[in-house]
């Protein structure tokens, strides 16, 4: 049996961040990952000469000096990943409009006003609030406050994080994004709402009707605070973090699928599917909450409390993805595109996010070739029928292909296409029922109602997109920081030199 100070299960960005910081702080750390890739939902797979990001592609939080990933890499003393700052974040297409999302907020607002001239004054007023919320959040996040606050230290840090400007956001706390848009008389404008819904679905996993206003406003600002194309893919950052664990004396091991965890004489033990046993004083789970019932004994899971049990039964979005290769993309093709085709809100099967590799990113494809990843939200319930699963997969692939080709004009250049249905997310990334992306950022699940990185069980911690602050590589990085702070008693931001 191997014994370490801290055992971490799951090599997604949450677990990698916790492992990197803890090993750097002198803890003996073992990080175990079930698959043969680092990065989980932000990892990659390879087919011959081609590399495809499995899910996450857009680099958020890598900007200097405040981006959370940037800060973690700095803290660990490892080189920042190779990346390109985007001036155009993405193009958004629907039947009614095409919008270029400029990284520069003022340029973006001017562009939106040209697309929707009849509501331009109201758009400007609304986006002033978006920009202000974005600034306040950026400053709040510097101290990585813990939510929901449980200890005096959490409250102190939360209050210390909030500068005087944060008080201006209090009136929005209980509102949804649609209610705030209503204040600006924008909530009835079909095209503008369709655009906002598309942006929120990708960043918040919720529509404007559901998304908590504070988070939704921040979600609209975040793309303008530094969006990057990551050379090769986000997986390279994940690999750098795993390497940092080893450099600091820790172990980072792939192909170790943990099947059970339990308590034994005041310490935690975990057994993998080959019967190998690992033990530690502290155990960090970087797995979705839906995986806990099968990992833990009934008694331990019951001791976690009703909130954890309820969340473990809560169904969230899954993804259908499509991976492909092009001989060459038409000139000026944006690296990121959102395509909407539904008659109503940008929901299931009505919305997709398309990410193309940068020209001459030979880590992704040789020569002038390019690879792309497309993803769309789908509900896990649609994929429960095993008899129709394969047929449904082929049909969905064909539908998405037709929409993609019609919108992008890539038809002549397309050389291969692969599907990634919910079962693939379950099989390769170990997400129960293929559920990904964390809970929707609604008042029901977010902020004071989110799950904490702390649990009721001594020495057991959670990170990843099931706990505060939710989904995105940047958000789960924050949960990894919280685990690091709780185990070591240190404060990440105080140790920084920025
Ligand atoms: C299609 C899609 C597109 C996205 N796009 C973006 C984007 O562009 N930008 C962005 O910032 N975010 C994006 N996200 C969100 C982001 O990828 C995730 O929120 C984040 O990567 C989740 O990290 P995590 O550490 O919580 O979990 P995961 O990435 O799911 O990692 C968990 C890891 O734990 C391992 N594991 C699970 N169970 C076990 C076990 N029993 N034993 C050992 N190992 C185990 C898994 O194999 C996995 O590697 C996207 C997500 C999806 C699905």
CATH number at residue 422: 3.30.9
Residues 119 and 214 in one domain: yes
Cα(134) to centroid of ligand 1, in Å?
25
| Alpha carbon distance 78, 93 (integer Å) | 39
Strand residues in 368-467 grouped as ranges (E) = 370-378, 414-420, 460-462
Dig out the tokens for 70 from the structure: 């940037």
Q: Can you tell me the distance from the alpha carbon of 36 to that of 61, in angstroms, rounded to the nearest whole number?
A: 26
Residues 448 and 365 in one domain: no
Report how far residue 8's alpha carbon sits from residue 19's, in angstroms, rounded to the nearest whole number: 7
Q: Which of 72, 77, 35 is closest to 474 using CA atoms?
A: 72
The C-alpha atoms of residue 395 and residue 411 are separated, in whole angstroms, by: 18
473 lines ligand 1 (CB under 6 A): yes
Specify whether 310 is located in the same domain as 321: no
Residue 159 lies inside a defined structural domain of this protein: yes
Mutate to test the pocket of ligand 1, among 35, 52, 55 (most ligand atoms within 8 A of CB): 55
Q: Which atom of ligand 1 is nearest to the CA of 474?
A: 11
171 has which bridge partners?
none
Walk along the chain (498 residues) and give the pLDDT tens digit of each residue. 889 999 999 999 999 999 999 999 999 999 999 999 999 999 999 999 999 999 999 999 999 999 999 999 999 999 999 999 999 999 999 988 999 999 999 999 999 999 999 999 999 999 999 999 999 999 888 889 999 998 888 888 888 887 778 888 889 989 999 999 999 999 999 999 999 999 999 999 999 999 999 999 999 999 999 999 999 999 999 999 999 999 999 999 999 999 999 999 999 999 999 999 999 999 999 999 999 999 999 999 999 999 999 999 999 999 999 999 999 898 889 999 999 987 654 446 588 999 999 998 999 999 999 999 999 999 999 999 999 999 999 999 998 999 999 999 898 889 999 999 999 999 999 999 999 999 999 999 999 999 999 999 999 999 999 999 999 999 999 999 999 999 999 999 988 754
Give me the residues paired with residue 261 across strands.
Answer: 270
Q: What does the radius of gyration of the chain's CA atoms come to, in whole angstroms?
A: 22
The verdict on residue 48 lying in a domain is no
Domain count, the chain: 3
Report the alpha-carbon distance of residue 157 to residue 154 in Å, rounded: 5
Q: Is residue 152 part of a domain?
A: yes
Counting ligand 1 atoms within 8 A of each CB, the residue from 272, 284, 287, 420 with the most, and so the one to mutate, is 287
**Beta carbon of 34 within 6 Å of any ligand 1 atom:** yes
Q: What does 233-252 look like in DSSP terms, one character per residue? A: -THHHHHHHHHHHHHTT-EE
Number of residues that this document lists for the chain? 498
Determine if ligand 1 sits within 6 Å of the CB of residue 13. yes
Q: What CATH number is given to the structural domain containing 78?
A: 3.50.50.60
Cα–ligand 1 centroid distance for 36 (angstroms): 14
**Lookup result for tokens 């990992």:** 295
Cβ of 257 below 6 Å from ligand 1: yes
**Atom 32 of ligand 1: nearest residue by CA position:** 12
- DSSP structural state of residue 9: E
Cα of 39 vs centre of ligand 1, distance in Å, is 7
d(CA 359, CA 285) in angstroms, rounded, equals: 38
Q: Based on the fold, state whether residues 374 and 450 are members of the same structural domain.
A: no
Asked if the structure places residue 95 within a domain, the reply is no
In this structure, the dihedral spanned by the alpha carbons of residues 34, 39, 40 and 41, taken in order and rounded to 10 degrees, is -170
Ligand 1 near 319 CB (within 6 A): yes
Structural domain span for residue 334: 317-434
Is there a single domain that holds both residue 425 and residue 450?
no
Residues 301 and 363 in one domain: no
Question: Which 3 state secondary structure label does DSSP give 130?
Answer: helix
In the reported structure, the alpha carbon of residue 56 is separated from the centroid of ligand 1 by a whole-number distance in angstroms of 8
Asked if residue 430 has its Cβ within 6 Å of ligand 1, the reply is yes
Please give the distance, rounded to the nearest whole angstrom, from the Cα atom of residue 324 to the centre of ligand 1. 21
Half-sphere exposure of 475 (CA within 13 A, CB side): 25
CA quadruple 226, 232, 233, 235: dihedral sign = negative
């Amino acid at each position: 049996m191997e014994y370490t100070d801290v055992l971490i299960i799951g090599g997604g960005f949450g677990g990698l961040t916790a492992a990197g910081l803890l090993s750097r702080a002198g803890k003996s750390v073992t990080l175990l990952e079930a698959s043969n890739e680092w990065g989980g939902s932000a990892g990659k797979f390879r087919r011959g000469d081609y590399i495809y990001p499995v899910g996450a592609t857009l680099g958020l939080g890598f900007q200097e000096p405040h981006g959370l990933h940037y800060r973690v890499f700095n803290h660990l003393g490892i080189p920042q990943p190779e990346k390109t700052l985007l001036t155009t974040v993405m193009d958004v297409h629907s039947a009614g409009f095409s919008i270029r999302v400029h990284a520069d907020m003022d340029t973006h607002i001017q562009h939106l006003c040209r697309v929707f001239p009849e509501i331009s004054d109201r758009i400007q007023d609304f986006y002033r609030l978006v920009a202000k919320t974005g600034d306040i959040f950026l400053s709040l996040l510097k101290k990585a406050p813990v939510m929901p606050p449980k200890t005096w230290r959490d409250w102190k840090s939360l209050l210390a994080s909030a500068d005087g400007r944060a008080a201006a956001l209090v009136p929005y706390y209980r509102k949804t994004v649609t209610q705030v848009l209503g204040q600006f008389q924008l909530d009835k404008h079909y095209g503008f709402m369709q655009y906002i819904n598309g942006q929120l679905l990708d960043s918040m996993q919720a529509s404007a009707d559901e998304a908590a206003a504070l988070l939704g406003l921040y979600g609209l600002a975040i793309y303008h605070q530094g969006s990057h194309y990551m050379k090769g893919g986000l997986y390279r950052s994940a690999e750098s973090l795993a390497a940092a664990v080893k450099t600091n004396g820790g172990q980072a091991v792939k192909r170790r699928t943990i099947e059970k965890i339990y308590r034994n004489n005041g310490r935690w033990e975990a057994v993998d599917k080959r019967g190998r046993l690992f033990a530690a004083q502290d155990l960090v789970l970087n797995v979705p909450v839906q995986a806990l019932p099968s990992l833990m004994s009934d008694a331990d899971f019951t001791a976690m409390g009703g909130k954890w049990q309820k969340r473990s039964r809560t169904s969230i979005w899954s993804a259908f993805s499509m991976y492909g290769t092009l001989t060459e993309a038409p000139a000026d093709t944006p690296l990121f595109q959102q395509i909407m085709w539904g008659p109503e809100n940008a929901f299931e099967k009505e919305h997709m996010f398309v990410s193309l590799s940068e020209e001459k990113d030979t880590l992704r494809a040789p020569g002038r070739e390019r690879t792309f990843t497309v993803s769309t939200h789908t509900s896990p319930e649609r994929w429960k029928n095993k008899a129709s699963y394969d047929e449904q997969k082929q049909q969905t692939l064909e539908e998405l292909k037709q929409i993609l080709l019609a919108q992008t004009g890539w038809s002549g250049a397309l050389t291969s296409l692969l599907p990634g249905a919910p079962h693939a997310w379950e099989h390769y990334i170990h997400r129960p029922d293929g559920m990904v992306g964390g809970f929707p950022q609604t008042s029901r699940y977010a902020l004071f109602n989110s799950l904490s990185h702390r649990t009721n069980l001594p020495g057991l911690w959670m990170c990843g997109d099931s706990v505060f602050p939710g989904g995105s590589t940047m958000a789960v990085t924050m949960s990894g920081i919280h685990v690091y702070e709780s185990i070591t008693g240190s404060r990440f931001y105080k140790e920084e030199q920025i």
